[in-house]
Structure 1
Amino acid sequence: MNFDLGDLRAFLAVADLGSFRAASEALHLSQSALSRRTDKLEQALGVKLFSRTTRRIELTTVGRGFVPRARNVLNELENALIGIQDVAERMSGTVTIACVPSAVAYFLPAVIREFHSQYPRIRIRIIDESSSVALTAVASGDADFGLTYIGTHDSDIEFHPLLEEPFVLAVCADHPLAGRREVAWRDLMAHEYISLAHGSGNRFLIDQALAQSTERPRWFCEVKHVPALVSMVEAGLGVGVVPRLAMPPVGHTALVSVPLKKPVISRTLGLIHRRNRELGTVARLLYDIIVRTRGSR
């Protein structure tokens, strides 16, 4: 058959993006060159893969059936190349991960260091945004996969849990609560309280857990992201509640984490990607390193 891998990549780009214009931009090809590649593939196969009108383009029934086969061909080829000696140093491309800011410090530095040492020509783009933005980025295809704590109930998202982490009280080391073995939520009512703003996924989890409680702290300051809250606490402005991974490691001279009880609140942090959509080889490499790093810590 007279077609090549470039023709398959052109076909998949149009199939995934639903537009010749978007696919041509993604592949850095002119629309006419892209159209010639898809025409060439259709002629080689002797079938129509796309149904074209003046306003839109859609996959035919045969085209929809050919998508997973074409993707498997490319994935198998890329996987085979990984086994060739020194191929890692020659691999290139870009992988995009959407990650909630509170998990960046814990997971990503060590992972990126290892990944970059193995695959120095692959670029890594990090979308460090809220849980909702991370979920949207993965669902829309703007990110290859995500590291977050929501998406478990989304039918279009596959969720791979990594760990369960509790929320803890963040206080300065010289704060009266810093020496406590644990603190109840009602104990925070007597102290200046810094809160995450509405719209934050972490704030939603906390509000949901405290919905029936009459003993909850009143905030005097709100921030949007967890790292900002930690910075405010470190500056001595008050106390705050954050996921444990957002806190500095044990031995930090300025900040202390104190376990919270009555109630204990936690979240499940995990990896998300689009269901029924295989990760590309480059993205899978980074994904697997994150899973392996979690298992070793």
Structure 2
Amino acid sequence: MPATFDSRRVYDVWQKLISDEELYELLLADRHRELKASRGLSEEELTILDEFRKEAGLRWNIENLRFRAADHVMSTLKVYLPRTIYLLTQGQEDWLRDIIYEYVALHRWQELGRSCLAECVRFGRYVRERIAKRRVLPDIVEHVLSMELAAVELLREAGQVPAEKWPRERRELDDEALAAARPRRGPAVKVIELPVDFSDWIHSVDPSTGSVKEGSLTLLMLVPSPEETFRIQRMSEGARLVFERFTGERTAAEIARAVEDELGLEPAQVYRLLRRWLSEGALHA
């Protein structure tokens, strides 16, 4: 590439070439000037494209960049949306690669790099707005996608919590202090409800194993602190009703009495649940 070209302009044209499928194909055929008007290409940009075409390995460079972009996206989705990916492809790697190539091409080969969580959210929209319009997907796909995207959203929220908003070191309270405490959720806690039970599948390391059962499923998701990892656990309906009462407005003793009156749950059981949630970081006092 001649040194007479501005380096920023060369870079911008290179980015156009990567993202524009038609421009790339016509450049290889030496017909790129046909797009001058429709793409608003200046004579300088066309001359830069001429120089790109002269360079050995142009096709290899473009295809390699696209392969790496697709590969990075695929690796990201396998980490954060493993069950959704399995349901879409039944574990077939070639099928997955086809989906990812089409997805990244739709976004003009602009993968989101280190913004892994944003990439998952964008892919979730792609599943709902494009794949689900072309294929009849079983209901479980939407339920699993909703669960995995809820976890992704929680991780995003955790990353935005200021350091001073995280609870201080957790400590066990004696009975008197516990009764007087006003517990509330930690800054990165979410409760979600699903219409089917695939809890066995959630806890399986292998996304291809597990089963779906009849009945609903309530999940408690949390990131206890910046130093701890994401956690997920099943929650019974009764536990959910108790958990949702800990908003920081009433003392634990007041909540225990109300739960006993309304749900018939003894205060000792409420305190056991509360101690567990405090120790896990789902609640803090």
With normalisation by structure 2, the TM-score equals: 0.26
Q: Which has the higher helix share?
A: 2
Using CA pairs below 8 Å that are at least 6 residues apart, which structure has the higher relative contact order?
A: 1
- Over alpha carbons, which structure has the higher Rg? 2
With normalisation by structure 1, the TM-score equals: 0.25
